[in-house]
């Protein structure tokens, strides 16, 4: 099924934004994932310009 021309930001029935904070610089990054998502050993790259280091995310439910 198709959504209206609405922003994808809140199309989520079963999905959610979570925030991860870079341990190196404190930069907050939103992550869009399923509400039941569980993550281990997942790495993202910090988007802060002066940082750009990888760090690990843990998502628990
Ligand atoms: Zn950072």
pLDDT of residue 17: 86
Q: Residue 11 to residues 4, 6, 44: CA-CA distances in angstroms?
A: 10, 8, 24
Note down pLDDT in tens along the chain; length 61 residues.
Answer: 555 555 555 555 788 888 899 999 999 999 888 888 888 888 999 999 999 999 999 888 7
pLDDT of residue 53: 97
pLDDT of residue 12: 53
Write down the domain spans for the chain.
14-59
> What is the whole-number distance in angstroms between the Cα of residue 24 and the centre of ligand 1?
5
> What is the whole-number distance in angstroms between the Cα of residue 5 and the centre of ligand 1?
34
Tokens of 25: 């610089």
Residues having C-beta closer than 5 Å to ion ligand 1? 22, 24-25, 27, 46, 48, 51
pLDDT of residue 52: 97
């Amino acid at each position: 099924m198709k959504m209206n021309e609405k922003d994808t930001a809140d199309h989520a029935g079963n999905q959610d934004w979570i925030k991860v904070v870079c341990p190196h610089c404190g930069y907050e990054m939103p992550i869009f994932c399923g509400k039941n998502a569980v993550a281990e050993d997942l790495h993202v790259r910090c988007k802060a310009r002066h940082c750009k280091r990888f760090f690990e995310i843990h998502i628990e439910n």
